[in-house]
Structure 1
Amino acid sequence: MDVSLSQPCTPSRHARYPTVDVLRGWAILGVVLFHLAWDLAFLGLIPSQWAVEPAWIAFGRTVAATFMALVGVSLALAARGGLDPAAFGARLVKIAAAALAITVATRLAMPGAWVYFGILHAIVVASLIGAAFLRAPSVVTFLLGGATIAFGLAWTDPAFDARTVAWIGFAAGPAPSVDFAPVFPWVGFTLIGLAATRAALHRGWLDRLPRPEGRLARGLSRIGRRTLAIYLLHQPVLLAILYPVAWVAG
């Protein structure tokens, strides 16, 4: 089975849309690039301020929003003809296990900024919420997604700062974490992706998409089908390469 970060499940009986895989490929490359800059800054190989430039932070958030929207896209595609509960559940278990592994690893390695609710945790919750809206009118799902984003960006309260509740998304000063993607606003992007894809499927728009051609598109498509594995492995690989470089550079 293909392993894709933003894909809750895609039973084999459903045709794939190569454009979606290409988008996933671009998104995971964006994640790798964003984390590469963070690692270089962390190890002193580039000025630390480069990794926290507003434009660079905006790039990282755009990549995260893309991933969360693709969760909704994939959920809508997987649900054509009915969602397979077994495949959906198995996929969520894999992502939840990966999220737990990241929590444990970062708690040991970075006790001051460990991941208590990162992008993988958000994907699990977004998938469950999205599944509950598979039969809802697309316009309702779309509006709810927009409201989730707006509310998550507009309202905060210090009462939500503790880790036990910060994951909801209303924290004024959440506990530090190297990866934080709370329900509000991030699940809103999944709902919008779900609504837009269901509407596009209903109107036949996706079937009219041009098929990506060329070596680059084929490479991105292959990458896009293995985003979960890439997400889990890219940081250990990057650090294994960069730590010796930093040591040699002094």
Structure 2
Amino acid sequence: MPTVSIQRLDRIDALRSVAMLWMTAYHFAFDLDHFRLIAQDFHRDPFWTWQRTAIVSLFLFTAGLSQVVALAQGQGWPRFWRRWAQVTGAALLVSAGSALMFPQTFIYFGVLHGIAAMLIVVRLTAGWGLWLWPLGALAIAAKFVAPGVIAAVPALTVLNTPGLNALGFIGQLPVTEDYVPLLPWLGVMWWGVAAGRWALVHRPQWLGAADAASTGLRRGMAVLGRWSLSYYLLHQPVLIGLVTAFVWLRG
């Protein structure tokens, strides 16, 4: 893998910003429904379930891209563990906050929990080259195979229990506000790593680089993408606060 100069690759940051803004719009609609200002079915309506799939996929794909670039830039284990600790700490905050708001369906293995686990796997497997493409496909396919396998082998229903269901090889979805297990989502991050490795070798310009000639919008999106973890933690409290204030002012 070629060595990349130590700089931000702004197109990755901008792509992450797209996921962040899309997530914000989705969560704003979710909050409006929670406060009964609109009526939507976020658990079964394909309009919302497919959006959630696309948003999470975009987040994990860009996380894979970022990891392969970090490795190409020579990121060592100490720096990796510092970032991992930040993600893990943020995941625990999400669990605590969701437990206050949704005590029966709090988030125990959501997006940040999943990313924290996947980052370790991806770090250890990033050098597997072209194998990441079929491995990613197998991880995604496991989602569709698991229900049939578990139905055929009743002893495997233990994999549906909290804790073990973090693996994602399950026969039924848990009742929780967010759920991003290793399978199938590790496959998406593996594909991000594989795509990033290919792009660094064949099309490095596709990933972009910080450029003073960039448009204001592009620079703004790139900057926003660099603060994804802070943004993720803050956007829902801000949205909920705004909707709560609106409901209160409306009487």
- Same topology, TM > 0.5: yes
Distance in 2 separating the partners of 1:232 and 1:199: 32
Question: Does the residue aligned with 1:133 lie in a helix, a strand or coil?
Answer: helix
Structure holding more helix per residue: 2
8 A Cα contact 2:143 2:169, kept in partner: yes
Distance in 2 separating the partners of 1:234 and 1:186: 23
Q: Residue 154 of structure 2 corresponds to which residue in structure 1?
A: none
Structure 1 stretch displaced more, 45-54 or 87-96: 45-54
Question: Which ranges of structure 2 fall in alignment gaps of 5 or more residues?
Answer: 151-156
8 A Cα contact 2:42 2:49, kept in partner: no
1:17–1:140 Cα change, 3 Å: same
1:240–1:47 Cα change, 3 Å: same
Distance in 2 separating the partners of 1:154 and 1:63: 23
Q: Residue 55 of structure 1 corresponds to which residue in structure 2?
A: 47
Question: Which ranges of structure 1 fall in alignment gaps of 5 or more residues?
Answer: 1-11
Question: Does the residue aligned with 1:135 lie in a helix, a strand or coil?
Answer: helix
What do the CA deviations read for 1:81-113 (whole angstroms, capped 9, x no partner)? 533111101000000011011112222331111
| One-letter identity of the residue aligned with 1:25 | S
Instruction: Confirm whether residue 69 of structure 1 aligns to residue 67 of structure 2.
Output: no
1:50–1:207 Cα change, 3 Å: closer
Deviation at 1:50, TM superposition (A): 6.9
Aligned length, in residue pairs: 237
Q: Residue 119 of structure 1 corresponds to which residue in structure 2?
A: 111
| One-letter identity of the residue aligned with 2:57 | A
Deviation at 1:209, TM superposition (A): 5.7
Distance in 2 separating the partners of 1:32 and 1:167: 25
Instruction: Confirm whether residue 89 of structure 1 aligns to residue 81 of structure 2.
Output: yes
Q: Which runs of 4+ in 1 moved over 4 A?
A: 208-212
Instruction: Confirm whether residue 185 of structure 1 aligns to residue 176 of structure 2.
Output: no
Distance in 1 separating the partners of 2:5 and 2:208: 21
8 A Cα contact 2:109 2:166, kept in partner: yes
Root-mean-square deviation (CA), in Å?
Answer: 2.0
Q: TM-score, normalised by structure 2?
A: 0.88
Question: Does the residue aligned with 2:163 lie in a helix, a strand or coil?
Answer: helix
Deviation at 1:57, TM superposition (A): 1.6
Q: Residue 9 of structure 1 corresponds to which residue in structure 2?
A: none
Q: TM-score, normalised by structure 1?
A: 0.88
Deviation at 1:56, TM superposition (A): 2.1
8 A Cα contact 1:44 1:246, kept in partner: no
